[in-house]
Structure 1
Amino acid sequence: MSRASKLTLGLVSAATALIVVAVHNTQVTEREAMHQGVVRDEERMRVKRERALDFEMSARLREEYEKIQPVSSAAGDPPKPS
């Protein structure tokens, strides 16, 4: 084999190896980014569930407290009789 063909083969092989490594790194980076999206979605849903539970608990407490002490709709209205 001539020196030019050996050089060409070496350069093409090196370029191919670099392209394969670059594509692999890009895929790994994209996979990690996609996974971070899933993690953010799970966290958002967890916070949403916690807020819903807090709201339900607050509503139950309000009903319980209103049984004990009625709340008027306006500041000047007298309290409702039990």
Structure 2
Amino acid sequence: MSTASKLTLTGTALGALGIVAAVHFQQKSEQAAMHAGVIRDLEQQRLKRERQLDFDMQRKLEEEYRKIQTVSETKPSG
């Protein structure tokens, strides 16, 4: 095998390995980004549930207070 053909074969093999490695690392970084997105979505859903529970509890308290207290609307002076 000639020197030129050995250099071409070596260069082609190294280029192919470099491309495979680059694609592998790109896929790993995209996978990590997608996982971070899932974690962020789960956190947002948890916060939404907590806020809804707080809202429901406040509404029940308001209903209870309205039963035992008389609240009259005040007319704005103008």
The two structures have a TM-score, normalised by structure 2, of 0.89
1:29-40 equivalences in 2 (<5 Å): 29-40=29-40
Which ranges of structure 1 fall in alignment gaps of 5 or more residues?
77-82
Mapped partners of 2:25, 2:60: distance in 1? 53
Mapped partners of 1:73, 1:46: distance in 2? 37
Higher relative contact order (CA 8 A, sep 6+): 1
Give structure 1 regions of 4+ aligned residues with deviation exceeding 4 angstroms: none
Alpha-carbon deviation of 1:75? 5.9
Identify, as 1 or 2, the structure richer in helix.
2
Letter in 1 for 2:36: Q
Name the Cα RMSD after superposition: 1.3
Output one character per residue of 1:24-72: Cα deviation in whole Å (capped at 9) or x when no partner.
0111111111111111111111111001000000001111111221222
**In the alignment, what sits opposite 1:5?**
5
Output one character per residue of 1:5-42: Cα deviation in whole Å (capped at 9) or x when no partner.
11111110000000000000111111111111111111
Kindly, what percent of the aligned residue pairs are identical? 54
The two structures have a TM-score, normalised by structure 1, of 0.85
Task: Between 35-44 and 47-56, report the one with greater CA deviation.
Answer: 35-44
